[in-house]
Each structure stands twice: as structure tokens, then as C-alpha cells.
Structure 1
Amino acid sequence: MGKLTCLQTLQYFEVGIEQGRRLVELGRLENLRGELTIRGLQLVGNKEEAQTTYLQEKPNIYRMAYLWSHDEPEGCETNDKHVKIPLLGQLKFLRHLELVGFHKVECIGTTFYAIDGNNKGNIQVFPSLKELVLEDMPSLIEWKGVELIPTTNGGRDEVIGVRMFPGLEKLRITKCPLLKSTPNQFEILRELIIEGVDSGVPLLNLCSNLTSLVKLYLSDVKELTCLPDEILHNNVSLQFLSVSDCGEFREFPQSLYNLHSLKSLEISFCTNFSSFPVPSGENYWTSLQSLQLFVVMN
């Protein structure tokens, strides 16, 4: 595969142990662009091999999925201990990124953003990214952000501002039960989906500075008891709100009635949900088209 040095389109690459299917082959394909899905990352032999793709040097890739399988046939050796999140933050055309099945990763650190400290101006990471998916990462506890980085200019110590995900519109976090910490630098995020995350803290972190949400879907957030008031108060353009399978969820804050753009509200299988707050006026939910309540009583 690596001999096809003029190859520009490669939608799928299945990592194997035989010649021609090692991860190093991707490193030789300098002209790759468009969409790329890499499957079978569990077969990567060591950390050095994992670094041979040089994806940060392929800026014309705009959609990427990293898939880690845990269903290898008996006798096939896997290498979980070498798993690290790739350095992708400077892929300037990347619009869609999925990280799936990284079972051993506990932290997405600042190296994920591939920031060059020699840059003299403000830095953007994932400048074109529109959609990000984190899925099936049961050991993930911390997802770090970065706002400032130290640098030296003419012998003087300085700091450079970092804009993270300036164009991200959709974020989906699924089956990351231990996740506790996330970035909060999302400027125009419109759709947020959180499923299978035990703590309610990531929701609060993600939304602490948000004012742009249009769709919010929460499912199986085990410790969530109430939606934080500031989320609804700050995101008055919210149109779709769904809370499902959250066993401890009990109530909404009064700010629920500030959502004059709300078109759809769904509460399903939240067995401890008791009631809506008493509205303080008459002109609320004037845009509501769908209200669904399913099995919400004990």
C-alpha cells in the first residue's frame, strides 16, 4: 500500500499484521485527502508504529474515524497498552472526527491539539471541525482543554491565546461512563448529545459558556438530578430537549419556561421525575409543537 505514493483517496484502511497492511503504510501516502477511516488499531505493534502515520502532515483530510475493535479472533494478539489519541488538532480541513473504542485511554491531553509553541499569533485548533464523536471509551476520565500556552518572543516570556473548536457545531459523547472533566471552549455548538456518562459534571462543564445550543439530548446520565439552571437560561434558542433513562432525574429549573423557541420536549423512562415547576406567567412555550412523556412514574 505504501508504494502508492500518488494515492489521494483512501476511504478505509484496515490495519493487519501482514506486509502492506501495517500502519506505517499510511505514513508514505503523503497526498491523501478527503475521508479516511482507520480500523483495527488494536493490532498496532508499539508506540513507535502508532506515530508513523504522520496524519498531522496530511492537512487535506476532512473526515476521519479511528475505530478500535475488541472482538479479535482467539490467538490474535492486541496491544491496548500502546493506545494513544492521535495528534490531529492542526488538520486545517478536518470537518468530522470520530474516536471509537479506545478502551484504555484515561485522558485526552493537550497533545491531542498538536499545538506549535513557535507560532507568534493566536492559535486555532481543529479550525474547520464541525462534528466530533467520542464513543465507547469506558476508561476516559479527563478531557483537557487549553486556553493559553507559554512561549518566548525575543527572550521575553509570553503567553499565546488558543481558540479551541471555533467552528464545532455538533458534539456526541457516548458510553464514556467515567468522564468527569471536559473543555468548555465551544463557541457555536448547536447540538450536544450525551449518552452513558455517569456524572452530570461534564454537562455542566460543556455548557458553562454556551449560548448557542439548539438541540440537547441526554440519555443514561445516571447522577443527573436536575438540569443546571444556567444551561437553559443562557441558551434561549434551544428548540429540542430530550431527557431519557436518567433514573435520578427529578425536575427542571424554572428557567425551562424561558425557552420561547422550544419546539420539542421529551422525558422518557426517568422513573424519579415528579413534576414541572409552576409557571410564573402565561406566555411560555409559545413555539412548542411536541410534548412527550413516557413511563416517568415509579
Structure 2
Amino acid sequence: MFENDSKIQRNSLIQLWMAQGLLHPSPGESKDMKIKGNDSPGESKNTEDIGNEYFDILLQSSLFQDAIMDDYGIIQECKMHDLVHDLAELVYKSESLTSYLSVIDNTLEALHVLKFSNIEEFPDSIGRLKHLRYLDISKTFFEALPKSIGKLYNLQTLRATKCALKEFPKELLNLINLRHIHFGERTKLPQGIRQLTCLQTLSYFSLGNEIGRQIEELASLNQLRGELIICDLEHVGNREEAEKAKLEEKTKVCHLTFQWTRYRLITDNNKDNDVLEGLRPHPKLQSLSIVNFMGDKFPLWMIRGSLLFENLRKIMLRGCNKCDEVPPLGHLHSLTELSIIEMANLKYVGAEFCSSLERLLIENCRKLRHLPDGLHAFPLLKYMDISECSTLELIPITQGLKYMHISKCPSLKSILITQDMTSLQTLKIEDCERLSGLPSGLDYCTSLCELDISECHG
């Protein structure tokens, strides 16, 4: 099914195995057996967990190659080894597995897996495929699905990325066995998604004022895992409404984004403050993004560390224009990456935000005047990118830093390098018109491999 040298997505492959009924527990185990090393109640091994075990076994056995790992050490993409692909072709002795289907007739009713590509019309006869478990309509050109899709009661996975589909029909809610639905942000879900209680993958959830689009739709979806982006949060009225999402119970959601609409009129900052306070997540979270938040202070669960967040590695704050400071994050001992973007009112970043940081990105913070003088106290910081900070005058480069990029900082006068900067490998400075000379201490950078200075007319 995969052409030679093609990239294979881990999750897609596991979902295909599941659709074909290839995932079975080891002898003596059952599908609801508890995951090894997990003592928490209710955490059981499901079919996807078994698929992940299979994937890792094949990877360790060198049947996969060119594996690509994410920031959390999980292999997300790979290729089939050339010899394995040749063997598969020899066994099947058929090229039909790589062809695309465009017509459904009675001879195809036993299909478990069906993938369309580059078609402009979707057949209404799809409803006859009672055994279909995996349907991929990515990269297609039709804008609507027929109502007959609601008859695919055994469907487990629906993929609709990079396609022209505008919205799913309400009949989608009949698919009570649906576990994974992949779609783009522009595709609209039907009202009442709470009915799909088996859902594990739901990348986007856009809110509205209508019944069936409110945040309480998420309450019963406790099987959700992976990434969840909650959009249009301005439709949530207060903390009590936000708490109805029951995010604290969704312990398998690793990556969470809270997103408000960017351009909107707001008269009461306290409303956003109240809503974000009610969106308290579970403590196992690995990454958190807060986008276009118009409150003037961050929630207590984030500042005081009432949640331990022992696994939280990434935080992104973007478009939080009413906040004048970054919350103190020193209690987050696993935090390695912090991105601060388009915070128009940010004036100061304190040294207490995190001592375990490895990557720091600050972009388009036009009132930011000072970076912490104690940056040199962060020996783990390796990557630093500062851009479009028009009032920033001084940037210290920290001990242990390997990569530094500074751009579009017109007020920048000097860059301070300490004697112990033997780790710096790349230094890029561009479009900093008031900078009159090279950073002092550059001669201490004995590991420097790349120096790029451009558009610095002073």
C-alpha cells in the first residue's frame, strides 16, 4: 500500500492495522489489560497501545528506516526498508494495492480500508460499505460528503486533511465507533459532537453560541489523546462554563492550545481571565499554548504551580496583548522551550521564569526593554532567537548557548558576551541599525562556525 521510499506516518499505519483487524494482545493478555508501569485506575491497554508496541518492535528489528523523532522522543514518521518493500511486492505479486479507487460497486462491499485521492465527486454509494473501518479523503476536491456516510457504523478512522471539504454532515454523529477524525481548521464539525464518546483524535474544536457547539460538548470525550486545539474561546461566558469541558479529566491529552479570535472587540478583561482560570488542565500535560488571550493576568493554576506539571516541556504565549509580564515559571522543572510572541504590552521578562530552559524565542514584543541580567545563570539555554523587539537596547548572551539569532531590533546598542562563551557555534545579527560594532568578547567564542551580519548599517 506504500510506494517505495514513501513516508509513513506512525498513527496512520497503526490505524490501518486496526482497520484490518491485525492488532491483537499477546497470549494471556486481554485488550483491557493495564499498561505496564501504570498504576493509575482506569488506564487500560487499548488497540492503539498494542499498535504502538507493534510499531516499536518493527522499528527495533530494522524493518523501518529513516525514522523521524518529535521533540518528545517519539518516532512519528519513517520509511519501509527497501528490502522489506521488495519482499512485500514479491508476496502479493500485484500492483493493485497502490492504485486508487474512484468507483464503488457491489464487488467492493467487504472493504475495510478505502483511500481516495484527487477526485472531484464523492460517490453516494459509500453507505453500502458496511464493513469499512478506515476512510481517507485527503487531497480531494469535493466540498461536501453524502448523508449516506452516516451508515458506516463500523468506521474507526476518518481522514480529511488538505482537502476542499467545508463541513461534515450531521449524519457523522451516527458513527458511534469513530475513534480518530483528522481534518483541517477550515472544516466544520456538526453540532453535538459529544455523542462520539469513542473519539481519541480530535485536533480542532471550534466553539459557537449554538447548542451543540458549546464547550460542554467536550465533557464526555474523556478518551481524547494527543493534541487538542480549542478555538473561538470568546464564546465561553465565564469560569463556570469553561469548567464544563472537564479538561482535568482528559489525562491523555498531551498538547493543549487555548485560542481566542485574534481581531475582536473586548470591553472586559476579566471575562478572559475568568474563562482561562476555568480551563484548568490535567497535570500530565506536555505542552501548552495560549493564543490571543485578552486578559491582563495569567491563571493561578499556571502562576502558583498548584498543578505540578511535571511533564510540561513547552509553553507558547502568543498575542496576549494585555499582559505586561511573563508569569513566573520557575516551578516547572521540565520546561525546556518558551516562546513569547506578539505580546504588545510586555515590558520585562524576569530571571525567575525558568532555570531548565533550553530554547527561548521572543518575537514582536515592541515594548520589551529588558531581558534578565541573570541570563548567564541558565547553563542549559542553547537556542535563543530575539526579533522585532523595537525598544530592546541590550542583549546578554548566556553561557552554554550554541545558537543565537537577533533581528529587527532597531534600538539595540550592544550585545554582551562573557568570557565563558566557548560553546557558541552560530551567531546571526540582521537589521539592527543602531548596533555600531561587533559584540564585545567575540574572541572568546572559540567554537564559532557561522557568523552572519546583515542590514546593520551602523
Question: Shared topology, TM-score over 0.5?
Answer: yes
Q: Residue by residue, what CA displacement relative to the aligned partner does 1:53-86 show, whole Å, maximum 9, x if unpaired?
A: 12122222101111111457xxx99997521334
Structure with the largest fraction of helix = 2
Write the distance in 2 (CA, Å) between the matches of 1:20 and 1:39.
15
Q: Residue by residue, what CA displacement relative to the aligned partner does 1:70-107 show, whole Å, maximum 9, x if unpaired?
A: 457xxx999975213346776333212111111x2111
Write the distance in 2 (CA, Å) between the matches of 1:9 and 1:79.
34
Report if aligned partners of 2:376, 2:399 keep a CA contact under 8 Å in 1.
Answer: no
Write the distance in 2 (CA, Å) between the matches of 1:32 and 1:15.
17
- Higher alpha-carbon deviation: 46-55 or 286-295: 46-55
Q: Give the deviation of 1:34 after TM superposition.
A: 1.7
What are the equivalent positions in structure 2 for 1:196-211 lying under 5 Å apart?
196-197=364-365, 198-201=367-370, 203-204=371-372, 207=375, 209-211=377-379
Residue in structure 2 matched with residue 141 of structure 1 by the alignment:
324
Confirm or deny that 1:26 pairs with 2:218: yes
User: Equivalent of 1:267, from 429, 438, 450?
Assistant: 429
| Identity level (%) | 27
Residue in structure 2 matched with residue 253 of structure 1 by the alignment:
416
Report if aligned partners of 2:247, 2:281 keep a CA contact under 8 Å in 1.
Answer: no
Write the distance in 2 (CA, Å) between the matches of 1:52 and 1:89.
11
Residue in structure 2 matched with residue 154 of structure 1 by the alignment:
none
Confirm or deny that 1:110 pairs with 2:300: yes
Secondary structure of the equivalent of 1:24?
A: helix
Confirm or deny that 1:98 pairs with 2:289: yes
Distance 1:131-1:206 versus aligned 2 partners, 3 A rule: farther
Secondary structure of the equivalent of 1:242?
A: strand
Secondary structure of the equivalent of 2:415?
A: coil
Write the distance in 2 (CA, Å) between the matches of 1:80 and 1:90.
21
Q: Give the deviation of 1:277 after TM superposition.
A: 5.1
Distance 1:57-1:210 versus aligned 2 partners, 3 A rule: same
- Higher alpha-carbon deviation: 203-212 or 58-67: 203-212
Report if aligned partners of 1:90, 1:126 keep a CA contact under 8 Å in 2.
Answer: no
Q: Give the deviation of 1:8 after TM superposition.
A: 2.8
Q: Residue by residue, what CA displacement relative to the aligned partner does 1:119-140 show, whole Å, maximum 9, x if unpaired?
A: xxxxx63211121110111111
Structure with the largest fraction of strand = 1
Which sections of structure 2, spanning at least 5 residues, go unmatched? 1-192
Q: Residue by residue, what CA displacement relative to the aligned partner does 1:10-56 show, whole Å, maximum 9, x if unpaired?
A: 22111122222110111222332221011111222344212211212
Q: Residue by residue, what CA displacement relative to the aligned partner does 1:258-293 show, whole Å, maximum 9, x if unpaired?
A: 31111111111110001125559x6x3222121111
Write the distance in 1 (CA, Å) between the matches of 2:262 and 2:217.
23
Report if aligned partners of 1:42, 1:78 keep a CA contact under 8 Å in 2.
Answer: no
Secondary structure of the equivalent of 2:372?
A: helix
Max radius of gyration: which structure? 2
Write the distance in 1 (CA, Å) between the matches of 2:287 and 2:318.
14
Report if aligned partners of 1:89, 1:114 keep a CA contact under 8 Å in 2.
Answer: no
Distance 1:190-1:225 versus aligned 2 partners, 3 A rule: same
Q: 1 or 2 for the larger relative contact order (CA 8 Å, sep ≥6)?
A: 1
CA RMSD in angstroms, aligned pairs only: 2.9
The amino acid that maps onto 1:218 is: I
Residue in structure 2 matched with residue 149 of structure 1 by the alignment:
none
Residue in structure 1 matched with residue 446 of structure 2 by the alignment:
286
Secondary structure of the equivalent of 2:242?
A: helix
Q: Residue by residue, what CA displacement relative to the aligned partner does 1:133-171 show, whole Å, maximum 9, x if unpaired?
A: 10111111133337xxxxxxxxxxxxxxxx622111111
Write the distance in 2 (CA, Å) between the matches of 1:175 and 1:94.
24
Write the distance in 2 (CA, Å) between the matches of 1:226 and 1:287.
23
What are the equivalent positions in structure 2 for 1:141-180 lying under 5 Å apart?
141-145=324-328, 164-180=331-347
The amino acid that maps onto 2:296 is: E
Report if aligned partners of 1:32, 1:60 keep a CA contact under 8 Å in 2.
Answer: yes
What are the equivalent positions in structure 2 for 1:42-121 lying under 5 Å apart?
42-70=234-262, 82-84=271-273, 85-86=276-277, 91-102=282-293, 104-112=294-302, 116=306
Q: Give the deviation of 1:176 after TM superposition.
A: 0.5
Q: Give the TM-score of the pair, scaled to structure 1.
A: 0.77
The amino acid that maps onto 2:336 is: E
Distance 1:254-1:166 versus aligned 2 partners, 3 A rule: closer
Distance 1:279-1:193 versus aligned 2 partners, 3 A rule: closer
User: Equivalent of 2:313, from 130, 138, 150?
Assistant: 130
Q: Give the TM-score of the pair, scaled to structure 2.
A: 0.52
Confirm or deny that 1:236 pairs with 2:236: no
Q: Give the deviation of 1:108 after TM superposition.
A: 1.2
The amino acid that maps onto 2:301 is: T
Distance 1:222-1:286 versus aligned 2 partners, 3 A rule: same
Equivalent pairs counted in the alignment come to 262
Write the distance in 1 (CA, Å) between the matches of 2:356 and 2:285.
17
Distance 1:241-1:105 versus aligned 2 partners, 3 A rule: same
